[in-house]
Amino acid sequence: MNTTLRKSILGIAGLTAAAGLAAGPLNHSTTTGNELTPTTPIAAVQADKPDMGKLLPHGTPSNQSHVDLNDEQIANVKAIIAATKKAGMDERAAVVSIATALQESKLENLGHLGDRNDHDSQGLFQQRPSSGWGTVEQITDPEYSTLAFLKGLKQVDGWQDMPLTQAAQTVQVSAYPDHYAQWEQQAADLVAQHWTS
């Protein structure tokens, strides 16, 4: 086969494969002579999970905490991940967001807690209407509160290279700045599990 014809066939095959991926599930195929024989559907092959090295670029801090999550908390994890994607940010931003929400609310979308409330803090991130985070209705909406948190994170120069607790604290200005780090492993595990779901 001449080189020009071979390049044309390979180019068409590449375009066909790429178009198939965009259009819908393909079948893995094996070549036998000049024909393709379908074998395993690509839909059966799960998308790659995020790399733990990217999720935990500084390794796992010591003294990690963990809480068992119910369906509502998992739904909030998924809402944070969806909002992170909507904001055009990566998996590491989702880890920072989820670890922050684990520290602030244990991933529960908290309303006003009366005497147990920290001022007027509410929602997943315990944001305060009086500090300009938004209305009560807004900050108790998981998408809105996550996008508000991420907007603050984007304004932190070099947040991608900071330890998680430093990045989170710069946005949150908590009285307990070192407490975010204890949730980093669970947050990374949750992002790895739900990023592609």
Identity at 23, one-letter amino acid code: A
pLDDT for residue 118: 53
Residue 9 has pLDDT above 80, yes or no: no
Residue with tokens 């036998």: 32
- HSE-CB of 133 using CA atoms within 13 angstroms: 30
Residue 24 has pLDDT above 60, yes or no: no
**What is the rounded average pLDDT of the residues 94-118?**
82
Q: How far is CA 110 from CA 2, 68, 73, 100, in A?
A: 69, 17, 11, 14
pLDDT for residue 25: 32
The alpha carbon of 77 is separated from its chain's Cα centroid by a whole number of angstroms, namely: 8
Residue 4 has pLDDT above 70, yes or no: no
**pLDDT band per the 50, 70, 90 thresholds, residue 28:** very low
**What is the rounded average pLDDT of the residues 16-44?**
37
Tokens of 6: 């071979």
**pLDDT band per the 50, 70, 90 thresholds, residue 38:** very low
Which regions of 21-175 does DSSP assign to beta strands (E)?
Answer: 27-32, 35-41
pLDDT for residue 165: 93
Residue 196 has pLDDT above 50, yes or no: yes
pLDDT for residue 47: 55
Integer Cα distance of 121 and 130 in angstroms:
9
- 136: buried, middle or exposed (CB in 10 Å: 19+, 13-18, 0-12)? middle
Integer Cα distance of 10 and 159 in angstroms:
43
N-term to C-term CA, the chain = 44
Residue 182 has pLDDT above 60, yes or no: yes
Buried b / exposed e over 39-52, threshold 16 CB at 10 Å, is eeeeeeeeeeebee
pLDDT for residue 112: 54
pLDDT for residue 119: 60
3-class SS of residue 21 = helix
Closest to 147 measured CA to CA, from 166, 161, 136, 134:
134
3-class SS of residue 31 = strand
pLDDT for residue 76: 98
pLDDT for residue 23: 29
Q: Which domains does the chain have, with CATH numbers?
A: 3-44 (no CATH), 52-194 (1.10.530)
**pLDDT band per the 50, 70, 90 thresholds, residue 131:** confident
3-class SS of residue 38 = strand
Average pLDDT of the chain to the nearest whole number: 79
Tokens of 197: 């779901």
